[in-house]
Chains A and B, each alone.
Chain A
Amino acid sequence: NAGVTQTPKFRILKIGQSMTLQCTQDMNHNYMYWYRQDPGMGLKLIYYSVGAGITDKGEVPNGYNVSRSTTEDFPLRLELAAPSQTSVYFCASSTTSGRPGSAKNIQYFGAGTRLSVL
């Protein structure tokens, strides 16, 4: 059972380059998320999706784009990489959250992608 798989694990980009971080889950989860983790900080939500064809912005969406064409895949796109986007990126997925306070929204995380923009 693979869970949430992210590729690549590491990447170095030059300023202005573009790339796509891949995320796939095999748990048939409706919800998927992208977070970034900066040194000494907690994770901040970039984008999330509640199902195929539906995406929405999180706390720090600027400079990123996402798409959700299938239940399994949720790629994150950086169009014009900037040094401020140097971070560790985590993808996560969960089942339908249910009502607020529900315990259903347990998020399962991938191992992360470490990105440096130089």
Chain B
Amino acid sequence: GNSVTQMEGPVTLSEEAFLTINCTYTATGYPSLFWYVQYPGEGLQLLLKATKADDKGSNKGFEATYRKETTSFHLEKGSVQVSDSAVYFCALLNQAGTALIFGKGTTLSVSS
């Protein structure tokens, strides 16, 4: 079946550090992939997406590339800010297009 595996958190970084959050998936076919972000006390917001192999999603300085050969969709940012502190979820869309399958989430804490 479909599943998403994210690196365990929490991830603690200083401001301006480089961020990588690993995400790998298991799925039938080539699902659309997403990163969602959840700020404290809020719902999930779409951060970026990719729909086919080698696509790169990007938004707010974050990037992730759809790697079919490694079934991965790692999230990266070159220089994090305190305001990036949040929980990040990797997700895939099931083949029927009816549901998102989420990873467990990775908590990022950035200090100044």
A interface residues, Cβ below 8 angstroms from B = 4, 31, 33, 40-45, 48, 50, 56, 58-59, 90, 92, 97-103, 105-112
CB-defined contacts of B46 to chain A, threshold 8 Å: 106-108
Which residue on A lies nearest to B102, using beta carbons? Answer: A42
Q: Are A98's CB and B100's CB within 8 A? A: no
Give, as a whole number of angstroms, the nearest-CB distance from A74 to chain B. Answer: 14
Q: Are B43's CB and A112's CB within 8 A? A: yes
Report how many residues on chain B are interfacial, defined by Cβ distance under 8 Å. Answer: 29
B interface residues, Cβ below 8 angstroms from A = 4, 29-32, 34, 36, 41-46, 49, 51-52, 89, 91, 93, 95-100, 102-105
Give, as a whole number of angstroms, the nearest-CB distance from B10 to chain A. Answer: 11
Q: Are B97's CB and A42's CB within 8 A? A: no
CB-defined contacts of A112 to chain B, threshold 8 Å: 42-43
Q: Are B29's CB and A101's CB within 8 A? A: yes
Chief secondary structure at chain A's binding surface: loop
CB-defined contacts of B31 to chain A, threshold 8 Å: 100-101
CB-defined contacts of A98 to chain B, threshold 8 Å: 97
Which residue on B lies nearest to A31, using beta carbons? Answer: B98
Tell me which of B30, B93, B96, B104 contacts A42 (CB under 8 A): B104
CB-defined contacts of A59 to chain B, threshold 8 Å: 99
Tell me which of B30, B42, B99 contacts A101 (CB under 8 A): B30
CB-defined contacts of B45 to chain A, threshold 8 Å: 109
With A101-B32, A103-B51, A110-B43 known to touch, is A43 a contact of B100 (CB < 8 Å)? yes
List 19 contacting pairs A-B, 8 Å CB cutoff, sorted by A. Answer: A42-B91, A42-B103, A42-B104, A43-B102, A44-B102, A48-B98, A90-B43, A90-B44, A92-B44, A98-B97, A100-B93, A101-B31, A103-B32, A105-B97, A106-B49, A109-B44, A109-B45, A111-B41, A112-B42
Q: Are A45's CB and B29's CB within 8 A? A: no
CB-defined contacts of B29 to chain A, threshold 8 Å: 100-101
Q: Are A109's CB and B51's CB within 8 A? A: no
Most chain B beta-carbon contacts within 10 A, residue among A31, A43, A99, A112? A43
Q: Are B42's CB and A33's CB within 8 A? A: no
How far, in angstroms, from A41 to B100 measured CA to CA in the complex? 14
